[in-house]
Chain A
Amino acid sequence: EVQLLESGGGLMQPGGSLRLSCAASAFTFSSFAMTWVRQAPGKGLEWVATIRGSDGSGSDGSTFYADSVKGRFTISRDNSRNTLYLQMNSLRAEDTAIYYCAKVWTGNGWLLDYWGQGTLVTVSS
């Protein structure tokens, strides 16, 4: 069964940096687009970033970002490690949230069919 396991969350000071990881298993990771979604405490879901698959068969690994994180966050992937990353720089208090990684259902727009359990990022001085 598809599994997504996020890690790397923690308490950070404003202006700091953090890298989240999402370890994927039970599917051909390189072929699938992946997405980060976040949820501030007590709030709704917010799309953060998406990266296409990069398996050389037409998937080019291109990336897309929400305006709220563009220029500060970088989504990337290591297909050899079946791992998705989110590099978060210039952190702000409003970046405090649970960060979920999600797999995209290929051939069905950008539908998110599997989600990890999330990792909490707290930005506070």
Chain B
Amino acid sequence: DIQMTQSPSSLSASVGDRVTITCRASQGISHYLAWYQQKPGKAPKLLIYAASTLLSGVPSRFSGSGSGTDFTLTISSLQPEDVATYYCQKYHSVPLPFGGGTKVEIK
């Protein structure tokens, strides 16, 4: 089965900073990579799919890139409301593993 690995597991950055989270698949998954945002005490929400397509309503400071095995989620200018844990997931076939998550905090 394909494994998903995220890094870092946590980060602390200042408001306005550029933040980058990486996700690596143990085998190629083409562009079938999604990013979810989970705010404290809330359910996850779909943020990005097909590696780089933002869901409607997601602020443009979020972006995704990559294909095959290496993917990136970038927040171009971190805002207080972006405090959350972010998960990647491959979704082209079951099983549907998630990455371990990256907790983003404000410094």
Contact = CB atoms under 8 A, between A and B. Distances in A.
B60 to A, nearest CB: 20
A111 B100 contact: no
A44 B93 contact: no
Given A64-B95, A109-B92, A44 B101 contact: yes
Contact of A109 (B46, B85, B91): B91
Nearest to A6: B43
B95 A117 contact: no
Contacts of A116: 43
Q: Name A's interface SS.
A: strand
A100 B43 contact: yes
Contacts of A46: 98
Contacts of A50: 94, 96
B44 interface: yes
Contacts, number: 64
B34 interface: yes
Contact of B98 (A47, A105, A110, A115): A47
Given A108-B49, A109-B32, A112-B34, A47 B44 contact: no
Nearest to A50: B94
A110 B93 contact: yes
Interface of B: 32, 34, 36, 38, 42-46, 49-50, 55, 85, 87, 89, 91-101
22 contacts: A37-B44, A44-B85, A44-B100, A47-B95, A47-B97, A50-B94, A50-B96, A66-B95, A108-B49, A108-B50, A109-B32, A110-B91, A111-B34, A111-B91, A112-B46, A112-B91, A113-B46, A114-B46, A115-B43, A115-B45, A117-B42, A117-B43
